[in-house]
Amino acid sequence: MEPKRPPLAATPSTVFLMLAIDTILIIIFAIAGISSHEGGLGLINIARVAIPFLLPYLALSIIIKPTRLIHNIFPAGVALWLLTLILGPILRIVLFQDTSAPAFILVSAGVLGIFLLGRRSISTLVTRARKTS
């Protein structure tokens, strides 16, 4: 068994690209949620859903040494996903006085888990493929 090596450091441009992709995925999550409830897709409606999840995700992403952990699924990716999931509904209340039904939180957990952890899985596979070619 080979010793586990620390992940290679990502370049600042890679970190920016991954954070941009995650931001777009969170906005897609907001748009899909609004659309499924036949809500208006105006900028304000999208912001009311996306911002409470974007703020903790981006703040936490910057704190966790993104050049080292931008592709990391466990523990960094899982921690980001869970903290975003916990803080998002809290910020919805604080910022917009919007409550979050248990069903919304469950759907958020699933969709954000697939989006954020899925992106990390894909970027990890791409990074490994580049290293071996």
Residue pair 51/95 in contact (Cβ under 8 Å)? The answer is yes
Asked whether the predicted pLDDT for residue 29 surpasses 70, the reply is yes
Q: Tell me, yes or no, if the pTM score tops 0.95.
A: no
Two tokens, residue 105:
């939180």
Give the model's confidence band at 8: pLDDT under 50 very low, under 70 low, under 90 confident, else very high: low
Res 80: pLDDT: 95
Tokens for 77, please give them: 């990716």
For residue 2, CA distances in Å to 5, 13, 42 come to: 9, 30, 52
The whole-angstrom separation of Cα 63 and Cα 105 is 24
Q: State yes or no: pLDDT of 119 exceeds 80.
A: yes
Nearest in space to 71 (alpha carbons), one of 84, 61, 63:
61
**123 C-beta neighbours (distance < 10 Å), count:** 19
